[in-house]
Structure 1
Amino acid sequence: MTVEVKVEETLVAEVGVVPQEEPMKPVIENEKVVEGDDKVKEVAESESKPRAVEKSSSYKEESNFLSDLKEFERKALSELKLKLEEAILGNNIFKKEEPKENAEKETKVAEEEEKKEEKEDEKKEEKAEEVDEKKTEEGDEVPVAEEKEAAAQEGEEEKKPEEGCEVDKDISLWGVPLFPGKGFEGTDVVLLKFLRAREFKVNEAFEMLKKTLQWRKESKIDSILDEDICADLSSAAYLNGVDREGHPVCYNIFGVFDNEELYQKTFGNEEKRGQFLRWRLQLMEKSIQKLDLRPGGSSSLLQINDLKNSPGPVKKELRIATKQAVGLLQDNYPELVAKNIFINVPFWYYALNALLSPFLTQRTKSKFVVARPAKVTETLLKYIPAQEIPSQYGGFKRDNDTEFSSEDCAVSELILRAGSTGTIQIDAAEADNTLVWDLTVLGWEVNYKEEFVPTDEGSYTIIVQKRKKIGSNNEGPIRNTFRSNEPGKVVLTIENTSSKKKRVLYRFKAKKCSTF
């Protein structure tokens, strides 16, 4: 099956294929219109040059391979690993818990202490004279020597684990063993996240790591995936697909909280806000399970924050809960978000961002991307392939899609100049074929129609979709199907009536009717 793209305009149309997808070879016809009744057709058949979809130049994750690190970064990593190993061997990672003794043990200890005190009182008088004689002969040397010896013993005690305590070399974070001696390849990746979050200041990164481990232990984060929390919030945040670099994509939909009933159920009191925070942490732990925490792997997420219909900063409870969630995520999940994309941004966001911007580090600000409603699809396409973008954001991904899969077929791209008309021709070489296609236009504002043209000149053209005008407020792609009873082709016609060029994305497939 072939696809033919025809563009009627005074300029050559640009046809290309979205990167990371198998290229197609369409035939391009350019029809030059001359004043009067006569038309001169210039036909050029050639392979179209692939046109790359615009991408962010600084999007790729920083390398976690030792060979790619700068000298000071390698040195900091080595120092952090040494401090971590010493802390684990010395059982100094977690805060020491005071042992709780029962009443019987306390009584026995008290009795033993009383007996010791009596014996010590008896010996004090006997040793008093001996001590005085030594002080006279040796001056202050004995006390000084004793102090040095005591200090040395204290230092040794700090390095050595307490007697009776086993060294836990199985301490892990996000499923990655932290003890450097185990030689696990993901250990460096995790430690580099803490170092980057603290600008490679070893002591600060080490303290951050210790606090994270302590917080996880106290908050029982390792068992949070087994908890049933806030089932009503499944539409507020969820994982869906991957981006161009293989990062899992997490969508945060703030508009759901415009519903007053759900808002009160989620943020009505402190206990409910606590459950909301725990639910958000649970989602983060689910997201981490999809990461590849090894050198060269996708070890961070892409976050999409949809602010459409968001209650905004006027809702105090939402503002407080969001601030708490951001604080917990920043303190305990460093460098796990590659980009934070804010879409459908309302006017109040810009004012809020202007106030907060001076307090954000350049590293944090470099991860923020903002898109107003008219630029949502265009912005997402820089980071996510069309077949992985949900249909409500202009992409081709649908829930429980029975027609296409993300690996099914290529997504192609057609550029329409202002005032031009383009046609996409999908060949149905055999009868009893069912054709299915997806098509979207960035910004729309086009006239669109679909028809089936039989190969037999004696047959009639069938209108699949009559010509209609699609405005700029159209959301989502067009999907349609056609069953051919004879050989021919489906022709999709897009007329760009605007003064700006348009990007058309499309994909299609054909199946024998018997396979449906």
Structure 2
Amino acid sequence: MGQQRWPGQARAQLTFLAVSSGRVVRHGACGHLQFQVPRCRGRRGSRKSAPVLLHVLSLRGPEEPETSATTPEADLSRCYLHMLGKVESERLEALRALVPATVARVHETHPSWKPEIWGVNVQQTCEASDIVLLKYLRAEQLNVEKAAERLAQTLQFRADGHINEMAAAGLEDHFCGHDTINGPDVDGRPVMISRYGGMDNERVFGDVDAFVKYRLAIMEKTMARLSFTKAASEDLCQVHDYSGVPLLFKTSEVKAGVTAMTKVFGDHYPETKGKTIFVNFPAVFSKLFQAFSVFIPERTRKKFIILSETDHEVLFQHISPELVPVALGGMFVESPATQLPGVPCQVVSVPARSKAEVVLAELNGPATVSWELRVCSSEVSYEVVFCPANSEAEKQDQLVAGSTRGKPLLSSDGVVSGSYRGKEARCSQ
């Protein structure tokens, strides 16, 4: 520690001191440390110095210049338009400054191409383009150079493949009927539901390029539902339905198609996975996922939800049942349109050998009441009853609809519906 005297002086810059006795006086960030030790007398009046214990964790000599305040680091969690700090804003501006040159290179081979990603012109300075650019920054851990290179690759990919036109393009018959685009989910995300059980694997996956274009078209249509406004949802809720899928689903042709699709989405659709829900997932796959999930980063693992065939109530916690297709236990029907589009559903859990009563609507005057109901799993016997508000004896409860004795309503029956013209009444199920 240099030369020390008791009492004495040592010139150094203090990082931390721990003193058990005596007193330490600090003068400035880099100056004199004066150790003042009290005197004490021995038994015979002799003068002795009190013991002093000094623990210095770090001392820098006067030859080292004083360091300035640490420059704040960019924070990935703040790299959203409504949360940007100074450093994150600077990274965004640095990336934006590279966009014109990147677009110019693409225009050399595609002069009439619009520099758009998901309908957003990245060359324009606006909220929407800021949100898109920030996705590339987050995907590359706020590294501007890497984000710029990835953006350049995406722009070239979109120009080469005419991706901007895919959302409006039609699909071949064997690609139709497997996907539902709906939403939003409970967090405001667009919902993309894909069902794999009814696919003709040979036709759907046989041509890898055609399969990738099909998935790109569905993805582009779903991304078009994002508003790209500050503080709004920026990613998607994806649902994969595995009902009817054999255990040997991944043949060589399926594997090739899925691998190619995964690479394209990984390279050119950064920060778009908000939540992925696997429904009707085979139990053996679910156990395998649980076993290997410990090796998946927590940030990624939280985005995956595995549900069995009877987990409808959990599914409805993420997506309202009126937005879930009938095939998945919900109430949504694309064609023909549902009788009650957009009307919130009530979810009722009925344990075995028990009853539940739900008030569907209360009327203060003559009106027509329309209703829909379905069983999500197993079977339930039901009645729809209209109860007059006036309890006079001549106004008895009226049974309007119900299941036949011995023939309960099954989940496979889908949605049943009806309507009733009533006066002052209460409708109960």
For residues 349 and 187 of structure 2, what CA distance do their matches in structure 1 show? Answer: 25
Give the letter aligned to residue 401 of structure 1: A
Moved more, 343-352 or 473-482: 473-482
Q: Given the alignment, which residue of 287, 290, 305 partners 2:225?
A: 290
How do 1:28-427 and structure 2 match up within 5 A?
A: 65-66=80-81, 68-69=83-84, 71=85, 75-76=87-88, 78-86=90-98, 88-89=100-101, 93-94=105-106, 171-179=115-123, 182-225=124-167, 227-257=169-199, 262-268=200-206, 272-311=207-246, 312-350=248-286, 353=289, 357=293, 360-375=296-311, 377-399=312-334, 400-401=336-337, 403-406=339-342, 408=343, 410-412=344-346, 421-425=355-359, 426-427=361-362
Q: Which residue of structure 2 aligns with residue 448 of structure 1?
A: 382
Q: How has the CA–CA distance of structure 1 residues 469 and 247 changed in structure 2, closer, same or farther, with 3 Å as cutoff?
A: farther
Q: Could you tell me whether the CA contact under 8 Å between 2:202 and 2:253 is conserved in 1?
A: no
SS at the partner of 1:382? Answer: helix
**2:281 aligned counterpart, secondary structure:** coil
Give 1:339 shift: 0.8
Q: TM-score, normalised by structure 2?
A: 0.68
The one-letter amino acid of 1:302's match is C
Contact 2:128 2:228 in 1 (8 A): yes
Paired letter, 1:347: A
Encode CA deviations 1:54-102: one digit per residue, 9 max, x unaligned: xxxxxxxx77654523x5xx525523532442462487754977xxxxx
More displaced stretch, 419-428 vs 186-195: 419-428
TM-score (norm 1): 0.58
Shift of the alpha carbon at 1:224?
A: 2.9
Aligned partner letter, 2:222: S
CA spacing shift, 1:82–1:223, aligned 2, 3 Å: same
Contact kept, 8 Å, 1:391 with 1:476, in 2: the verdict is no
Alpha-carbon distance between aligned partners in 2 of 1:459 and 1:83, rounded to the nearest angstrom? 73
Q: Tell me, in whole angstroms, the C-alpha distance in 1 between the residues paired with 2:293 and 2:403.
A: 50
CA distance in 1, matches of 2:185, 2:229: 18
Structure 2 counterpart of 1:121: none
Equivalents in 1 of 2:348, 2:178: separation in Å? 34
Letter paired with 2:180: Y
Letter aligned with residue 448 of structure 1: Y
Structure 1 position 381, deviation (Å)? 1.3
Letter in 2 for 1:465: G
The Cα shift of 1:251 comes to: 0.9
Report if the CA contact (8 A) 1:340-1:367 is conserved.
yes
Matched, 1:479 2:413: no
Matched position secondary structure for 1:481: strand
Which residue identity is paired with 1:293?
Answer: F
2:371 & 2:421 partners in 1: Cα distance? 14
What displacement does 1:378 show?
Answer: 1.4
Cα 1:67–1:314 change in 2 (3 A) is closer
Partners of 2:180 and 2:346 in 1: CA distance: 28
Tell whether the 8 Å contact from 1:444 to 1:470 is kept in structure 2 after alignment: no
Q: CA RMSD in A?
A: 3.7
- Alpha carbons of 1:488 and 1:211: their partners in 2 closer, same or farther (altered >3 Å)? closer
Unaligned regions of 5+ residues in structure 2, if any?
Answer: 1-76
Q: Report the Cα distance in structure 2 between the residues aligned to 1:184 and 1:394, rounded to whole angstroms.
A: 41
Note if contact 1:393-1:476 (Cα within 8 Å) is conserved in structure 2. no
Q: Please tell me whether the aligned partners of residues 286 and 306 of structure 2 are also in contact (alpha carbons under 8 angstroms).
A: no
Tell me how far apart the structure 2 counterparts of residues 402 and 443 of structure 1 sit (CA, whole Å): 20
Q: Contact 1:452/1:488 (CA < 8 Å) preserved in 2?
A: yes
> Which 5+ residue runs of structure 1 have no aligned equivalent?
1-61, 98-165, 493-516
| Secondary structure in 2 matching 1:284 | helix
CA 1:266 to 1:81, structure 2 compared with 1: closer, same or farther past 3 Å? same
- Indicate conservation of the 8 Å contact 1:389/1:395, yes or no: yes
Query: 1:172 offset after TM fit, Å?
Result: 3.4
How far the C-alpha of 1:448 sits from its partner, in A, is 2.9
User: Alpha carbons of 1:467 and 1:185: their partners in 2 closer, same or farther (altered >3 Å)?
Assistant: same
In 2: Cα distance, 1:83 partner to 1:430 partner: 62
C-alpha displacement at 1:421, in angstroms? 3.5
Q: Which amino acid aligns with 1:321?
A: G
Q: Counterpart of 1:199 in 2: which secondary structure? A: coil
CA displacement 1:84-142 (0-9 Å, x = unmatched): 42462487754977xxxxxxxxxxxxxxxxxxxxxxxxxxxxxxxxxxxxxxxxxxxxx
Q: Give the 3-state SS of the residue equivalent to 2:222 in structure 1.
A: helix
Q: State the secondary structure of the residue aligned to 1:255.
A: coil
Q: What secondary structure does 1:450 align onto?
A: strand
In structure 2, distance between residues paired with 1:328 and 1:83: 22
Question: Residues 423 and 96 of structure 1: is their aligned pair in 2 closer, same or farther, counting only changes over 3 Å?
Answer: closer
Structure with more helix by fraction: 1
Q: Deviations over 1:449-507 (max 9, x none)?
A: 33445555235654432575788972576533253576654442xxxxxxxxxxxxxxx
